[in-house]
A and B are shown apart, each in its own frame.
Chain A
Amino acid sequence: MSAGAPEADDLARLLERASLGERAAFAELYRATSAKLFAVSLRIVRERQLAEEVLQDSYVAIWNHAAEYSRAKSAPGTWMAAIVRNRSLDLLRRGSREVEDVDEVLAGRLVDEGAAPAADLERRAGEHAVRECLGELEPDQRQSIALAFYHGLSHSELAGHLRRPLGTVKTHIRRGLARLRECLERTGAVER
């Protein structure tokens, strides 16, 4: 993760040993990652008690699913942080009343979705590529995406925070994500 923290390879090895039932390796993994992951959750859920619940659930899930982790797919830190972020976001009730949200309209179309052709390639992103690509975005786009990512702000919360119309914020996010994807694919951090 960050400087002074274990390298991705170390974490991957710990995960692998944990997947074989080695508790000492799992304890080491916890020591190496829990402060970072607690901070990630705390920023989103904003209550220590909720963040503690998220962390407990996440490490139970990490232990139970360690065997499914694959180095070929994601960096170990990314895999674990995604578990923590998902649980944190699932817990949020804020913003759940955004019935007019365009995302909800789109998601509604997924209800009857069958299995789609597995055409997408999975590729591992470069560790720092996302930050470089964020630097290429318009300041408004970058700010909206960062606030949503780090603080778990919904579209309407972002609008309030940035004092912008809801539609403008949604456009910033949507265009920002599209440009981010385009940049990451162009720089070869991920392949299309």
Chain B
Amino acid sequence: MRLTDPDLRHALAASYVLGTLRGPARRRFARAVQADPGLARLVTRWEDYLTPLAENVAPVAPPARLWPSIEARLGHARTPRPAGLWGNVSFWRWLGTGFATAAIALLAVTFGLRGPPPADAPALVAVLSTPEQAPRMVIEESRGVLKVRVTAPWPPSATQDHELWVVPREGAPRSLGVVPLAGEAQLRPAQLERLLEGGIAFAVSLEPRGGSPTGAPTGAILCSGPIARSKRA
């Protein structure tokens, strides 16, 4: 059923913005707004009608601890904390045991199950998956070039970049540079071989535009995956 009566649409948008639309009805309406640009504009309009009333409210200072925790959530904390996300035990456990089946399938295809690999076969390959195990990115290394292919693109962002890291068995992740949110890219970091030495996994972190300002990952891990090396490598 479509709601086409403009007065009904107005009434619902108004009670949503006013706040009298509650509970399941509120959530249903919020979902409807996402699927209906006209309704979304109506909500914006009611926000413009009513929200200026909020200017009348006498300010109350929030506690001082709030700002640092907002910064931390945005990955803006001034001191990078490798003991945080990147030292997170569950992350490593997931990396160790949650080996994506897609990686195995890809390995079989890439390296072949029969005979020696052709000369131009990649020396290493990885499928990067989200913490929910959804594959997002494939990475191959061949002759000093890192080929990155985003298989499930992220929506474009004007404010943030994705940065690729190689995670060694011990020590801090090493940056391989900023990677695109969609499509493909070829990265040629200086001394790639040394960077990849001892690497057991790739991971992509969310960073401010231009990449991590600290040289260490600062934002959330978007996807990661173990590195598989061909026998030649």
Contact = CB atoms under 8 A, between A and B. Distances in A.
B171 interface: no
Interface of A is mostly: helix
Nearest to A33: B59
Given A112-B1, A130-B53, A123 B48 contact: yes
A177 B28 contact: no
Interface residues of B, number: 68
Contact of B2 (A30, A59, A114): A114
Interface stretch (B36-44, B99-107, B130-138, B139-147): B36-44
B76 interface: yes
Interface in B35-58: 35-39, 41-42, 44-45, 47-58
A113 B48 contact: no
A39 B57 contact: yes
Contacts of A123: 45, 48
Contact of B57 (A79, A108, A131, A150): A150
Contact of B22 (A1, A44, A92): A92
Contacts of B41: 118, 120-122
A82 B59 CA distance: 16
Contact of A81 (B22, B54, B69): B54
A181 B59 contact: no
Nearest to B207: A21
Interface string A51-83: 110011001100110110000011101110110
Given A21-B160, A184-B49, A107 B28 contact: yes
Contacts of A93: 23
B209 A20 contact: yes
A130 B17 CA distance: 14
Contacts of A162: none
B62 A34 contact: yes
B12 A181 contact: no
B52 A130 contact: yes
Contact of B12 (A75, A107, A180): A107
List the 9 shortest-distance A-B pairs measured between CB atoms, nearest first. A96-B23, A35-B59, A125-B48, A21-B209, A104-B25, A107-B25, A67-B158, A110-B32, A38-B62
21 contacts: A39-B60, A43-B57, A64-B160, A85-B17, A95-B23, A96-B22, A98-B22, A106-B11, A107-B32, A108-B25, A109-B1, A110-B28, A113-B39, A116-B4, A116-B9, A130-B53, A150-B56, A152-B19, A173-B20, A174-B11, A177-B14
Interface of A: 1-2, 18-21, 23, 27, 30, 34-36, 38-40, 42-44, 48, 51-52, 55-56, 59-60, 63-64, 66-67, 73-75, 77-79, 81-82, 85, 89-90, 92-98, 101, 103-104, 106-125, 127-131, 134, 145-146, 148-150, 152-155, 158, 173-174, 177-178, 180-181, 184, 190
Given A20-B158, A98-B22, A130-B50, 4 more contacts: A116-B39, A158-B20, A173-B15, A173-B18
